[in-house]
Structure 1
Amino acid sequence: MKKWGETGKEAIFSTLRTKAEQLLASESAEQQVRAGNEVELLLHELEIYELELQMQNEELKASHNSLEIERSKFAGLFHSAPVGYLILNPNGLIKEINQTGAILLNAHPSELHDKNLATFIVSDSQRDYYAFIKHIQISPNGAQCELRLKTENAKAKFIQFNATTVINPVTEEKAHYITITDITSAKKIQQRLTETSERLNQTLRASQTGTWMVNPDKKEIFLDEYSKNILDLHTGAAVTTNLLSARIMEEDRSKLAYLFADCKTGCEIDLELRLLPIKREIKTVLVKGKIVERYDGSNYFAGIITDITERKRHLELANEHEKTQQRLLYKASIEAQEREREKIGSALHDSVCQILYGIRFNINHISKKGALKTEFNNINNLLDQAIGELRTLSIELTPAILKDFGFTTGLRDMIRRLETVGFKVHTTIDPRADDLPEETQLYIFRIIQELLNNSIKHSGSSAAKVKICTENSAVNILVSDNGRGLSDGVEESCKQGSGLRGIKNRVALLKGKMEILNQNGVTFKIYFPQDNLQA
């Protein structure tokens, strides 16, 4: 009978031995002869089985040596692995542990045998540890947890446990196979990242800034909560192009194409977008971003959104203040010029002209005596010409006729003095222009005077047209000629010509608008709104 632990070969050998013993015990001679033959056969078979057993023994020794070699290899890998490995019995006692695991537990592997793993875990993590052990006993897929180990100093050591339960096929006992990894550095990096992220969030909130990212595949824009608040998009889903476009003023919607353009290295985004008004307020946001490269080599845009409504408002106020300061500066300059003109005009009229009148009176008195009459006539003609030019210059410098007889009369008088045989001016002046403020009248007078002088001196024109129209206290002015026009173009002429710059300054002082048409001569269209005529 086959006994417990016998191999198949041993069972066969035992059967043959029993059979031989039975044959030898037979009392029949015939049976003994027949048994002798069978014994020889059995002996032969026994020899064969003996050889087979020797060969199997050699194979077992070779297999044992191979297993020892492989065991040594795996034992070396087990102890030199960068991850800690240990085996716990169901009671939580350490049965096996590698060198890395022992280092993490701050002990020698021989000192850890049959030690309870729970004794190496800080009290704050004990509850989590026992819950972890209980979970791996009932979970077929194993479990994972993060715990803190006891250390000699006060520094924390964070360990990640990954475990599964294995049943021994021979003893049918359970064992917990556990890997332990030191994640202290990763925890510190995570902590720094959390702190940095929190500081960044605080900074973004304080600066009224949110973040965004474009998904180039699905044409979606991912916004953080603050960005959604800035854009007044209260939705939990990803923001599509159409949804974002619906919040932006129509004139700025074309700018969104840049967000989904081909991402090229070095490409950056810097856009100002105006949002449709909510509660009658137009909000302006600044969208800035740059290229971010993914791990797979693809690119996408990411950046920040800032509410610059207040900044724009303050900037507009600053620009308006600057323009006001410039207008005041221009006004002071022009007023100073007018005062100097008035002084020079008064000096010419009251001093030089009076002297010339006296000279002419004396020359006339001498000429009545009859001597050198022809020569005195020539001198009188020259004096009359000088007096006329001085009077004209005095009037141009100080148009007192504006104060004495009104704007319309003064303007017509100035135009009449500028007209010559080869240059005629057609005028259409609304009489209501006399009701304009005196300062406005003077500015318009100087503008038209400068434009007509330019036509006479530079354009070679033979005719000009002046038209002034007032309606609801607003003023429309048109001055044109039939000359050569501006040879250098409008932009260049405005930069080079001091006369045109002076005209632009006067128009700006009254917050007016000027349009120059450089075709078939040159035409100036100037408009002063009603509310801006008080300089």
Structure 2
Amino acid sequence: MSDFDHNDQHIPKEALLALRERAERRRHLITRAVDESTPDAIQRLVQELQAHQIELEMQYEQLLLAQAEAETARLEYVNLYDFAPIGYLTLDTHGTIQQLNLNAAQLLGDVRQKLMRLRLALFVAEQDRVEFSDFLDALSASDVRQTCELTFIRNNQQLYIQLAGTRVTSPENVVQFHLVLLDVSAQHAATRALAVSEARFRHLFEQSADAVVLIRNLHIMDCNASALRLIGAAEKSELVGKPLSFMVPEFQPGGGRSEELIRHHQALLRRKGSHRFEWYRSTLQGEHKWLEVVATYINVNGEQLVHAVWRDITVQRAAQEQLRAEKEFSESLLDNSVDGIIALDRGGRITAWNREVEKYAGLPEAQVVGQDIFSIFPTLNTPEWQQLFGQVLRSGEQVVLNGIPFIVRPGHYDAYIVPLRGEQQDDISGVLIVVRDMTERNRLIEETTQLKLSQQQEVLSAILSTEEAERKRIAEALHNGVGQLLYAAKLHLETRLGRPPRDEAYALLNEAIRMTRTISFELTPGILEDFGLKFALEELARRIPRGSLPVHLHFSGLDQPLPRLMEVAVYRIVQELFNNILKHAQAQEAFIHVVRENDKLSISVEDNGQGFESPATSLLTTASVCPAFRTAWGCSAALSPSIPALAKAPSSASSYP
């Protein structure tokens, strides 16, 4: 054995070759040691001894080979037994440890030398020792492999060990137990955690306020109490086992077929693992509901199921629909409004911009939303406008602006700046600007005003014509009737007496004739029709006694005749103003100015009388006070073929004191 090195023990074939080589070398040496002169008997004896030696060496070689193979097997056994990843134990019928490997010693928490001859039950938790004893009894009674799972104590730490053992009988007819120890603490913890998780899931499943259903193969396999309440069922049997199409209308409100949509959502769920969608279905009582469905794949005991949560969103959906309808209505109002509408937040950024404003400013909504109003309209970027917006935000009062210009569409625009209030009335969230095109309205107002003026002029013209006709009729009646009678009476008296009477009655008769002629002239100045306005006004001034009121006349531009009714109106105005001066002014001098310039006619009558302190003015007749002439009357009008606006002046002027 000393001739073999350590490597030869691990390589039997190489050791055998080395032995044979040494045997051949020895045989050669022995053969050479016998001389040829040696007797034959001795040579045969030596050869026999050499042959016997060779046989002994060959046997020795076989023994060495067997020993090497046994050592190799032992090393393999050591590797398989001592260094195995699981624990191996050999127990006698009393449960005493006879042999164990390193892993078993590690599981028991001590070295092998100390564990030998100890009873394995010492390491079993007290509550499991009876079960361990039953396990040993089962091993003794049967040759069948027995298993159990026990709790072991190692250094005050619990381990869950799975034991598997068989009964064996040694060549000496000794019964032993071969055990396998496997640490299943991690699996046990995972199983326990899974059980806790499953219990928690079951609790959440049953107690959840949301309706929860478990689905397998598009059929409901379980549901909680909330799902029953949602569907209007009293027992699970009314819902469990039903297909997902149960109590679902054939078509969803969007128009899709429900069966096709179920398959579509299932495909999305398979692709994403979790899927959320809204679903329309009915309860057992026929009530329609909108549900929000959140479906997720889960694994329950190795089975792939769908965990679906149903939430009743019927009220929210109705509110959303109402909000959407209100939003569409608001957008429709904005887009179809005849007014331009701009909404701003508190920072002056544009949040709404309707189509009408797009026409006014020439900018689309997408370009301006989110922009500052002052950047869109640089002309508004002034301290006055910024102060105006700040005032609206602070005070919450509406502001109206007139004559706002725009770039693209010229015209007349009014702007109404209104504060936007939140749910709390005191909370002002922004400003709403309503821009209204007043161009057409102003045009219509102007046309209406002109129409009213035209109608008034026609009415006044008719009134004046009627008045003049009536005046003329009365004047003719006075002149041709009363005047002729008075004049006939005068002639009759003169004829009877043969001379003009000299008594007071005759003087009164002459005065009556003169007054009749004067009244007739004043009612219908025929001279106005015969000789024109200028001559008629001069005649009117001449009829005023010079001693009572000197009158100075100034005319310009009256060479061309005016429309008849205008001439009558001017004559009546001046006549009425003269009457007022004579009755109330107590003046010593008067001035008359009638000036025509282009299409304007101005009338001014001034006197140096006492005047008046009233600041009253009328639309067409004005009064002023100056140092030289205390009373001043005047009016002006535009010339037109119809009755002028100053035709109202006589009644206005006569109202002054």
Bucket of the pairwise TM-score, normalised by the shorter protein: 0.5 to 0.7
1:516 to 1:165, Cα distance in 2 relative to 1, 3 A:
farther
Query: What is the distance in 2 between the residues matched to 1:166 and 1:480?
Result: 109
Q: Which of 571, 578, 585 in structure 2 is aligned with 1:452?
A: 578
Question: What residue is the counterpart of 2:116 in the other structure?
Answer: 22
* Structure 1 letter corresponding to 2:293: F
User: Is contact 2:593-2:604 (8 Å) kept?
Assistant: yes
Alpha-carbon spacing, 1:273–1:290, altered in 2? closer, same or farther (3 Å): farther
1:442 Cα offset (Å): 1.0
CA contact 2:413–2:438 (8 Å) conserved in 1: yes
Q: Once the two structures are superposed, what CA deviation does each residue of 1:61-120 show, in whole Å capped at 9, x if it has no partner?
A: xxxxxx99999999666545443345678x878787533245446665577779876878
Structure (1/2) with the larger helix percentage:
1
* SS of structure 2 residue aligned to 1:262: helix
> 2:298·2:306 contact (CA, 8 Å) conserved in 1?
yes
Please give the TM-score of this superposition, normalised by the length of structure 2: 0.56
Aligned to 2:589: 463
Q: Greater shift after overlay, 113-122 or 416-425?
A: 113-122
For residues 468-497 of structure 1, give each alpha carbon's deviation from its aligned partner in whole angstroms, at most 9, with x where no partner exists.
222335322222233343433224xx5xxx
TM-aligned CA deviation for residue 386 of structure 1: 3.3
Residue number in structure 2 paired with 1:42: none
Contact 2:411–2:437 (CA<8 Å) still a contact in 1? no
**How far apart, CA to CA, are the structure 2 residues paired with 1:514 and 1:263?**
46
- Deviation at 1:414? 0.5
User: 1:455-534 alignment to 2 at 5 Å?
Assistant: 455-491=581-617, 494=618, 514-520=621-627, 521-531=630-640
* Residue 324, structure 1, aligned to residue 460, structure 2: no
The amino acid of 2:262's aligned partner reads: Q
Q: 1:99 to 1:432 in 2, by over 3 A?
A: same
Distance (whole Å) between structure 1 residues aligned to residue 376 and residue 480 of structure 2: 74
Cα distance change of structure 1 residues 407 and 515 upon mapping to structure 2, 3 Å threshold: same
- What amino acid does structure 2 have at the position aligned with 1:444? V
Structure 1 position 301, deviation (Å): 3.9
Q: Which amino acid in the other structure matches residue 413 of structure 1? A: E
Give the Cα–Cα distance (whole angstroms) in 2 for the partners of residues 131 and 247 of structure 1. Answer: 58
Question: Which deviates the most, 128-137 or 258-267?
Answer: 258-267
Q: For residue 319 of structure 1, report the CA deviation from its aligned partner.
A: 3.4
- 1:133 partner letter: L
Consecutive unaligned residues in structure 1, runs of 5 or more: 5-9, 26-38, 40-45, 55-66, 495-503, 505-512
> SS state of the match for residue 490, structure 1?
coil
Does the 8 Å contact 1:151/1:157 carry over to 2? yes
Identity value in percent: 21
8 A Cα contact 2:418 2:432, kept in partner: yes
Report the residue type matching 1:350 in the other structure: N
Please list the CA deviations of residues 193-221 of structure 1 after superposition, one character each: whole Å capped at 9, or x if unmatched: 44455556666766635644232322546
Counterpart of 1:84 (choices 204, 211, 218) is 211
> Any conservation in 2 of the 1:408–1:431 contact (CA below 8 Å)?
no
Q: 1: CA distance between counterparts of 2:573 and 2:375?
A: 52
SS at match of 2:347: coil
SS in 2 for 1:428: strand
Contact 2:461-2:643 at 8 Å conserved across structures: no
Count of residues paired in the alignment: 463
Q: Which residue of structure 2 aligns with residue 30 of structure 1?
A: none
**C-alpha separation in 1, matches of 2:197 and 2:625:** 99
- Write the mapping of 1:363-378 to structure 2, written as runs, cut at 5 A: 363-364=493-494, 376-378=502-504
The structure 2 residue matched to 1:147, chosen from 271, 275, 279, is: 279
Q: 1:349 to 1:194 in 2, by over 3 A?
A: same
Give 2:463's match in structure 1, choosing from 317, 321, 333.
Answer: 333
Return the alpha-carbon distance in structure 2 between the equivalents of residues 387 and 200 of structure 1. 83
SS at match of 1:145: strand
CA distance in 2 between counterparts of 1:418 and 1:383 reads 22
Cα distance in 2, alignment partners of residues 359 and 424 from structure 1? 36
Aligned to 2:266, which of 127, 130, 137?
A: 130
CA contact (8 A) 1:429 1:469 kept: yes
The amino acid across from 1:129 in the alignment is H
CA distance in 1, matches of 2:577, 2:272: 97
Partner of 1:58: none
Please say if residues 624 and 631 of structure 2, whose CA atoms lie closer than 8 Å, have aligned partners that are also in contact: yes
Residue type at the aligned position of 2:447: L
Report deviation, 1:399: 0.7
CA drift of 1:364 comes to 4.8
Q: TM-score, normalised by structure 1?
A: 0.67
Partner of 1:126: helix, strand, or coil? helix
Partner SS for 2:568: helix
Q: Deviations over 1:247-289 (max 9, x none)?
A: 99xxxx989976653347984566665655857x635567585
RMSD: 5.1
Q: Is the 8 A contact 1:264 1:291 kept in 2?
A: no
Q: How does 1:390-429 map to 2 (within 5 A)?
A: 390-429=516-555
For 1:309 and 1:155, locate their aligned partners in 2 and report how far apart those are by CA, in whole Å.
56
Matched ranges for 1:256-405 at <5 A: 261-263=391-393, 267-268=397-398, 275-276=405-406, 282=411, 284=413, 287=416, 291-294=420-423, 297-302=427-432, 307=437, 309-364=439-494, 376-405=502-531
- In the alignment, the residues of structure 2 paired with residue 69 and residue 24 of structure 1 have an alpha-carbon distance, to the nearest angstrom, of 37
Q: CA deviation digits over 1:317-372, x for unaligned, max 9?
A: 333322322222222222222122112222222222333333444555567679xx
